[in-house]
Structure 1
Amino acid sequence: MTEEQMNYPSTSTINKRYAGFWMRFWAYLVDLIIVFSINGILLVPLKFINDGFSMELGYWTITGIIGSIVFYLYFLLMTKYFNQTLGKMIFGLRVIREDSQSLRWSDLLFREVVGRFIHRVFFITVFLYLFVAFGAQKQGIHDMIGNTRVVIEE
């Protein structure tokens, strides 16, 4: 009988140490500094266009749209190709799938785009990050949506 047939968790999921709230918080702050720096470099030239006035596209400004795209692409691409962002690298954290297989685009689109969008758009949902502090596997809502976990690298 194989391990899957016996319905035992694999040893790779037993030995995982899940990253807690504060480690993830500090890593996220580092990531925000990096994203804001990238946006600053990319968006400064737009201040010299249109005599310094913001260019609007409906309800949004061009700088707001570009800044949002950079924000979501940073988290999406870094997590897809490295399983971690620069902030997570500094603090020794890694994003894994629930079943410990390699991350798929669909997992990351739900985790990094849909999950983060929900947290940023609705003010009250910021408090849902507290799930990380009190959950057994330290999952935020965006982790639950994407079927992912954040673990400490060993």
Structure 2
Amino acid sequence: MQTPYAQENVQAVPQAYAGVGIRFVAVLIDGIIIGIVSGIITAILGTKQVILGASVDTILYFLYFIILEATMGATLGKKILGLRVVRQDGAPISWSESLIRNLLRIIDGLFAYLLGAIFIWTSPLKQRLGDKAAHTLVVKGR
């Protein structure tokens, strides 16, 4: 029997936060994967398509991050490197948190991700702007 005061023990052990270097490598891996998928789509369609003013590449880029992080807690690049995205309380992130953190990639990505890197370097929790807004963390550990 569960009382109304029962709480799920989400995260009892502190996590190691992922820094700029390993996150950069994860994004590079993700970029290669997105590039391959984009190349296949382009080969099938014969040309770069524009949908509602956005290229297929742009749509694919955002959907890749939003869907994989919301459903698996990590992109393929993060999974390969043993990283995952969690809420600050250690719970899995929601669709809305994934959407927020990834839409802010637009700002974090300015100047070749330098702005995002500065946020990570100066944050005690190693959060970029998107992480701060969504209250999420990128942590080491599967």
Instruction: Say whether residues 1:118 and 2:107 are aligned partners.
Output: yes
Structure 2 gap segments, 5+ residues each: 1-8
CA distance in 2, matches of 1:127, 1:89: 23
In the alignment, does 2:74 pair up with 1:79?
A: no
Query: Does structure 2 retain, via aligned residues, the 8 Å contact 1:118–1:125?
Result: no
| Equivalence for 1:145 | 133
Structure whose residues are more often helix by fraction: 1
User: In 2 relative to 1, CA 11–82 (structure 1 residues): closer, same or farther, beyond 3 Å?
Assistant: closer
Matched residue count: 133
Larger gyration radius, structure 1 or structure 2: 1
Q: Secondary structure at the match of 2:131?
A: helix
Q: Which deviates further from its counterpart, 68-77 or 13-22?
A: 13-22
Q: What is the alpha-carbon distance in structure 1 between the residues aligned to residue 99 and residue 50 of structure 2? A: 27
State the distance in 1 between where 2:134 and 2:105 align.
11
Partner secondary structure for residue 31 of structure 1 = helix
Superposition CA RMSD, Å: 2.5
**Residue 21, structure 1, aligned to residue 20, structure 2:** yes
* Deviation of 1:131 (Å): 1.6
* TM-score, length-scaled by structure 1: 0.75
Give the Å deviation of 1:11: 9.0
Shift, 1:15, TM fit: 1.8
Shift of 1:55: 6.2
Give the secondary structure class of the aligned counterpart of 1:12. coil
Percent identity of equivalent pairs = 32
Q: Which runs of 5+ in 1 are unaligned?
A: 1-9, 49-53
**Deviations for 1:65-87, whole angstroms, at most 9, x for unmatched residues?**
21111111111111011100110
Report the CA distance between 1:141 and its aligned residue. Answer: 0.8
